[in-house]
Structure 1
Amino acid sequence: MDQEMVFIPMILFMIFVAPIWVVMHYRSKNNKGSGISEAEHQRLQELVHVADSMIERIETLEAILDQETPEWRKKYERK
């Protein structure tokens, strides 16, 4: 009789709760693994564009400094 009392809830759990639990688990894993959102991707692209333009500006400024003051790099290089 005691075995029947444990066996029935176990069967009900396996029929109703376990499948829903498994589906919800893998659905949440799929949502986490989908990567970044479209808005985040767009923001990263904007930041890459800003960084590229900053690199160009720095290179231009360095070229100007090289022409006007050729020894400036020696003064500001890390030792």
Structure 2
Amino acid sequence: MSNLVFFFVPTVIFLGLVLPLWLLLHYIGQWRSSKGLSAEDRHTLETALAEVSRLESRLETLETILDAEQPEWRKQHSSES
């Protein structure tokens, strides 16, 4: 009987206290490490920002051309809205 208690008590303590705390701390660590951007997400974001920058430059060029060819185009299109 004493041998059974010798193995039973540490097992209950481990399963009741140590294991849940261990699992909780493990998953908190996993959650914290996944909060940042992954390398793939960072690459996608950089690609999108480069595309936005390219499109902004293109839009500025088109507006410059329109300003040179039709100086009143901004007034015409802003009054329609």
TM-score, normalised by the number of residues in structure 1: 0.71
| Alignment match, 2:54 | 53
Equivalent residues in 2 for 1:25-44, closer than 5 Å: 25-33=27-35, 35-44=36-45
Q: What is the match of residue 17 of structure 2?
A: 14
When structure 1 is superposed on structure 2, of 43-52 and 19-28 the one drifting more is 19-28
Q: CA shift at 1:18, angstroms?
A: 2.9
Matched position secondary structure for 2:62: helix
Greater than 3 Å deviation, 4+ residue runs: none
Between Structure 1 and Structure 2, how many residues are aligned?
A: 70
TM-align CA RMSD: 2.1
Task: Please give the alpha-carbon distance, in whole angstroms, between the structure 1 residues aligned to 2:67 and 2:13.
Answer: 80
Distance, in Å, in 1 between the alignment partners of 2:59 and 2:31 is: 43
- Write out per-residue CA displacement over residues 17-70 of structure 1, whole angstroms, 9 at most, x where no aligned residue: 23322332322222332x111111011111111111111111111111111111
How many percent of aligned residue pairs carry the same amino acid?
26
TM-score, length of structure 2 as denominator length: 0.69
